[in-house]
Amino acid sequence: MYFRYLFDTLYNFQLSFYYLFFTYPVFLFCGLEKLLYVCTVF
């Protein structure tokens, strides 16, 4: 039971880590693109 709980928490942590790892660069890239677009407009 304890190991099961430990495994679940580790698995969820790993999932959230991968989620952040994959989504953060995308958000960063989109933000940079928007900044560049704003800079080119003005």
Q: In the predicted model, is pLDDT for residue 1 greater than 70?
A: no
How many angstroms separate the CA atoms of 39 and 21, rounded? 28
Phi/psi of residue 29, each to 5°? -65, -45
pLDDT tens, residue by residue, 9-38: 888 888 888 887 787 877 778 778 887 777
3-state secondary structure the chain: CHHHHHHHHHHHHHHHHHHHHHHHHHHHHHHHHHHHHHHHHC
Residue span of the structural domain in which 19 resides: 1-42
Task: State if pTM tops 0.75.
Answer: no
Q: What are the distances in angstroms from CA 25 to CA 8, 9, 31?
A: 26, 25, 10
